[in-house]
Amino acid sequence: MGRVKTVLIKRTSKKLFGKFGEEFTDDFTKNKEIVEKHTNIASRKIMNMVAGYATRLVKQSKQEKVPRKIVKEAT
């Protein structure tokens, strides 16, 4: 079983993915830089969790498990 992401992590990731979705890739390290550039999150742990969840959203959107419409509504 995996770990459950908090509402804060999911909401922040979905908002960033909705606004800057074209910038995100399926590479975690690049997504960390994007999250750092567009947010002012001080905690490295939370920033990494947001970047990881955004990476997951990118991979799911490529497989069309997450429709873009749902992600856009979160913004």
**75, 14 contact by CB (below 8 A):** yes
Architecture (CATH level 2) of domain 7-73:
Orthogonal Bundle (1.10)
Taking the model in full, what pTM does it have? 0.81
How far separated are the first and last CA of the chain, in Å rounded?
Answer: 29
- Which of 12, 13, 8, 55 shows the shortest CA–CA distance to 31? 55
By the 8 A CB rule, do 60 and 44 touch?
A: no
pLDDT surpassing 90 at residue 19: yes
- pLDDT at residue 21 is higher than 70: yes
Per-residue pLDDT tens digits for 29-70:
999 999 999 999 999 999 999 999 999 999 988 887 665 555
Lowest mean pLDDT among 3-7, 20-24, 28-32: 3-7
Q: How far apart are CA 35 and CA 7, in angstroms?
A: 17
Domain edges within the chain: 7-73
Which pLDDT band holds residue 74 (cuts at 50, 70, 90)? Answer: low
